[in-house]
Amino acid sequence: MDDAEAKVRLQASISGLAERVPLVSARALLSTGQRALLLSCLAVISVGFLLAPLTTLRVLVGVVSVLYITLVSYRFRLFLRSTREGTVVRVSEDEARGIPDGMLPSYTLLIPAYRESEVIANLLRNVARLEYPADRLQVLLLVEADDQQTIEAVVNAEPGPQFELVLIPPSEPRTKPKALNFGLSLATGQLIAVYDAEDIPEPLQLRRAAIALAKLGGTFGCLQSKLSYHNPTQNMITKWFAIEYAMWFSFFLPGLAAMRAPIPLGGTSNHFRRSSLRSMGAWDPFNVTEDADLGVRMAREGYAIGVLESTTLEEANSDFVNWVRQRSRWYKGYLQTFIVHSRSPRKFLRETGWRATAHFGLFVGGTPMLALLSPLFWLMTFLWFFGQPSFIESLFPGPLYYVGLFSLTLGNFLLLYLTLISSRLVQRTDLLVAAFLIPLYWLMMSMAAVKAAWQLVTQPAHWEKTFHGLDGTRPTTRPAPGSAA
């Protein structure tokens, strides 16, 4: 690949989507209409505060309470839906092994590795463990051309013939989706899978995915494998993280899939058809959760997404500061995705129908919103018990009081119960104590959400810079580019 070609590919990777479909690109954040809507909302609220502060506060509290209880019940609904049969796509082991190699499609694995020199050896071993004919497997290691350490590590590890080292010319934005786009332009496989460098996929995953995609037909654009962690007991944060992932991939995503809702993909172990991925412009390099955005865009294009019963193990983020950073990036990305896709609600509605639109709002918009609203309620509860009960009471007149009480008791009960059920589901009773302490984790989530929202408000222009700062300061033990969910 000469320089000129690399440049063309790079250019297409960076601005391909933004030029083709600027409506869904996160290169610019707020549209004019959205800005006007936001400002007029703020104006109405501030005028309300000037004219009738108590009434305005009551209305706000009412709206927020109803929103909160809706979001929490929606989560529980997803759980109930996901426990029915047939929400997860299963391919039995026998069937997976039973297909002759000659019938399998060609597969390309895209593995972006940015400052990952330590895990390269593991990566090669894990990929080698995958049961898939080598002549039909192309593994693209996507490495930044100026990342000497990783390049050396790859060269020293002497990878097999199916591995290809792809050097991405240094350019901005230095993000995972850009690397993936670049890799996709070189992929030859009929099917594409994305893995992070430290992932340990289940050996039969590719065969299962290939069979399932073939059976499910063209309406299915993507299969998301379940993700889990191999270090859940390292400390309290990883325990909570593991429970949360269990909830996410065993309940929420299967529930969403069963209801044909837009699914925010996890950033790894996605299996696509190359054709469909390309036709829809692949990843948005300007979105900090390009995976979630891609899921939503797939829904807009009419593709269904399934959850594949096959687990990939990841390493959980165990450091508090890093956890908050990572989480605030996810929340920011969700907010970004939500904003990008609500630029033209009517179009979204036309493309996906009202059900999927509601799911999209409740889940993609609701996830950071729930984390943002919770501390408000905790604060009010705290004040109610220990501070100024009369003021808090005056905020909840009549029926609103019951709504508030309902969301306080039922909301916390449901969320705590879901956590408990999740820890049971992953067969980890050693996580039970962590499950009961999960409110502390909610506190961490809220901190991250506040940080995300604050950055979204104060530094919309410096969006990419924030992203770089975050991406540059990855954990020293296990740096991983991009996001995981």
Partner 1 sequence: MTFTPTPTSRPAEVTSLDVLSVDSNQVGDTDRMPHLEEPQSGRSLKRRQRSERRQRRSEGKQRRSEKKRRLEAQKRADTQRRLEEQRRLDAQQRLEEKRRVQAQRQLETQRRNEEQQRIEAHRRLEEKQRLDTQRQLEERRRAEEQWRLQAQRQLETQRRLEEQQRIEAHRRLEEKQRLETQRQLEERRRHDEQKRAEEQRRLRAQYELATQRRLEEQQRIEAQRRLEEKQRLETQRRLDGRQSVPENRLQEEYRDVEQQRPGDVGLSVDRQLKFVDQPQVGIQERASRLSTPTVTGHHIGEGQVVGVLSFALYSSLAALMAFVYHIYPIDAVARMANGFYVLYSSDPHLAAIGFVWNPLQSIGDLVVLLFKDAWPQLATRDMAGALVSAASMTGAVHQLRSALRERGVDTGPRLVLTALFAISPMILFYAADGMSEALYLFTLIATTRYLLRWYQKRDLRSLVYAATALGLAYLARNEALGASVAACALVFLVSALQGSESLRMRLKGATGDTAVFAFPVTVAVVGWSLCSYIITGQLFPQSRANSIQIKVTGFNPGDIAARFVHELTALGALAPLLPIVLAFVLVQAVRRRDGWVLFPLAVLGGGLAFDLIGYLHGSLFDWLRFYILVIPLAVLVTGALLTTTRTKMPALQNGLATNAGRTWLAIGMSAAAFALVIPSFFTSSIAMVNKSIGAGETSEYLRPIFDSNKPIQQTEASYSWLSVQAIDSYLSGLHLKANTVIVDDSNTCVANLIVQSSNPKIFVIPNDRYFQRVAADPLTFGASYFLIPPESGLDATGQLAAEYPSMYDDGYLWTRLVRQFAGGGSCPPFRLFQVTGHQPGVGGY
Pairing of strands 304-314, 200-201: antiparallel
Provide the minimum distance between the beta carbon of 203 and partner 1 in the complex, in angstroms, as a whole number. 18
Only segment of 81-89, 130-138, 152-160, 281-289 that touches partner 1 (CB under 8 A): 81-89
Residue 30's contacts (CB-CB under 8 Å, 6 or more residues apart) are 38, 339, 460
Instruction: Please report whether residue 279 would count as binding partner 1 according to CB under 8 A.
Output: yes
Provide the minimum distance between the beta carbon of 107 and partner 1 in the complex, in angstroms, as a whole number. 12
Specify the residue, 331 or 442, whose C-beta has the smaller distance to partner 1: 442
Specify the residue, 17 or 304, whose C-beta has the smaller distance to partner 1: 304
Instruction: Please report whether residue 215 would count as binding partner 1 according to CB under 8 A.
Output: yes
Residue 248's contacts (CB-CB under 8 Å, 6 or more residues apart) are 227, 266, 485
How far is residue 448's CA from residue 442's CA, in Å, rounded to a whole number?
Answer: 10
How far is residue 263's CA from residue 483's CA, in Å, rounded to a whole number?
Answer: 15
Among 18, 165, 167, 216, binds partner 1 (CB under 8 A): 216
Helical H segments across 129-251, by residue range: 148-157, 176-186, 205-216, 236-247
Return the ∠ at Cα 212 (arms to 208 and 217), rounded to 5°: 160
Stretch 220-249: interaction string toward partner 1, x if CB under 8 A = x-----------------------------
Instruction: Please report whether residue 275 would count as binding partner 1 according to CB under 8 A.
Output: yes
Only segment of 45-53, 136-144, 149-157, 423-431 that touches partner 1 (CB under 8 A): 423-431
For the chain, state the CA radius of gyration: 23
Among 128, 383, 403, 432, binds partner 1 (CB under 8 A): 432
Instruction: Please report whether residue 86 would count as binding partner 1 according to CB under 8 A.
Output: yes
Instruction: Please report whether residue 401 would count as binding partner 1 according to CB under 8 A.
Output: yes
Count the neighbouring beta carbons within 10 Å of the beta carbon of residue 186: 15
Specify the residue, 119 or 212, whose C-beta has the smaller distance to partner 1: 212
Length of the chain: 485
Only segment of 239-247, 280-288, 402-410, 469-477 that touches partner 1 (CB under 8 A): 402-410
Provide the minimum distance between the beta carbon of 355 and partner 1 in the complex, in angstroms, as a whole number. 13
Provide the minimum distance between the beta carbon of 420 and partner 1 in the complex, in angstroms, as a whole number. 6
Only segment of 225-233, 338-346, 350-358, 414-422 that touches partner 1 (CB under 8 A): 414-422
Instruction: Please report whether residue 424 would count as binding partner 1 according to CB under 8 A.
Output: yes
Q: How far is CA 260 from the centre of its chain?
A: 17
Stretch 345-364: interaction string toward partner 1, x if CB under 8 A = --------------------
Give me the long-range contacts of 215-219 (CB less than 8 A, separation at least 24): 216/89, 216/304, 216/306, 218/273, 218/276, 219/302, 219/303, 219/304
Among 125, 413, 439, 473, binds partner 1 (CB under 8 A): 413
Instruction: Please report whether residue 56 would count as binding partner 1 according to CB under 8 A.
Output: no
* Number of residues this chain uses to bind partner 1 (CB under 8 A): 51
Instruction: Please report whether residue 102 would count as binding partner 1 according to CB under 8 A.
Output: no
List, in sequence order, every residue forming a beta bridge with 312; answer none if it has no partner: 201, 227
Give me the long-range contacts of 394-402 (CB less than 8 A, separation at least 24): 394/54, 395/54, 395/57, 395/58, 395/61, 396/58, 396/61, 397/58, 400/58, 400/61, 400/62, 400/65
Provide the minimum distance between the beta carbon of 407 and partner 1 in the complex, in angstroms, as a whole number. 14
Binding to partner 1, residues 153-192 (CB under 8 A): 188, 190
Interaxial angle between packed helices 148-157 and 120-128, expressed in degrees from 0 to 180 and rounded to the nearest 10: 40
Only segment of 63-71, 89-97, 146-154, 442-450 that touches partner 1 (CB under 8 A): 89-97
Pairing of strands 191-194, 107-112: parallel
Specify the residue, 278 or 468, whose C-beta has the smaller distance to partner 1: 278
Q: Residue 391 carries which side chain, given as an amino acid letter?
A: F
Among 18, 21, 56, 95, binds partner 1 (CB under 8 A): 95
Provide the minimum distance between the beta carbon of 377 and partner 1 in the complex, in angstroms, as a whole number. 17
Q: Are 327 and 448 in contact (CB under 8 A)?
A: yes
How far is residue 425's CA from residue 248's CA, in Å, rounded to a whole number?
Answer: 12
Q: Kindly list the residues in this chain that would bind partner 1 in the complex (CB under 8 A).
A: 4, 8, 12, 80, 83-92, 95, 105, 188, 190, 214-220, 257-258, 273-275, 278-279, 304, 306, 401-402, 405, 409, 413, 416-417, 420-421, 423-425, 427-430, 432
